[in-house]
Amino acid sequence: MTAAGKSGLRDRGNAFNPRGPDVVILRSELSDLGHPLQLSRVLSTLVKAGALVRVGSGVYAKTRLNKFSGQLAPAAPFEVIAAEAVRKLRIKVSLGTLAAEFTFGLSTQLPMLPMATGRRLIGRKIQGGSKTPMYERPTAKQRKDTK
């Protein structure tokens, strides 16, 4: 493989990463750009350069320059990245109990962590720094109400 071939894939990877609305990029979205080993090499290079942050297995988030610290940081808050990653992975997720109560005005406490899952467990680990989303399974009564 020549250096020109590697830079060609790198250029195509950069061309795919425009300033679009999506913050999360799945490896599967880039699979048509080249061989899996080349893709791994390019993604690894982009992570080392700070253009992307690895959030999970095959899940990457775009970065931007933080105007206060001057350092690269994820382009969105972790909660937004986790929600978009789960949506792109086609996992059905709804608001957790506390978030639903806050949204509908039944509580004044701000929810911080849980997202409710549907009927299935989520095996994918999504992590940004030291943060990981917490999933809660709906109770039997909640599952019965959604049928």
Confidence of residue 78 (pLDDT cuts 50, 70, 90): confident
Q: Given this model, what pLDDT does residue 8 score? A: 61
**Domain count across the chain:** 1
User: Is the pLDDT assigned to residue 18 strictly greater than 60?
Assistant: no
Q: What whole-number distance in Å separates Cα of residue 1 and Cα of residue 26?
A: 25
Q: What whole-number distance in Å separates Cα of residue 35 and Cα of residue 33?
A: 7
CA 85 to chain centre: 3
Q: Which domain holds residue 37?
A: 3-146
User: Is the pLDDT assigned to residue 27 strictly greater than 60?
Assistant: yes
Q: Given this model, what pLDDT does residue 101 score? A: 83
User: Is the pLDDT assigned to residue 76 strictly greater than 50?
Assistant: yes
User: Is the pLDDT assigned to residue 119 strictly greater than 70?
Assistant: no
Q: Cβ of 74: how many Cβ atoms within 10 Å? A: 20
Q: Given this model, what pLDDT does residue 126 score? A: 77
User: Is the pLDDT assigned to residue 145 strictly greater than 80?
Assistant: no
The per-residue pLDDT for range 87-113, each reduced to its tens digit, is 888 877 777 777 778 888 888 887 766
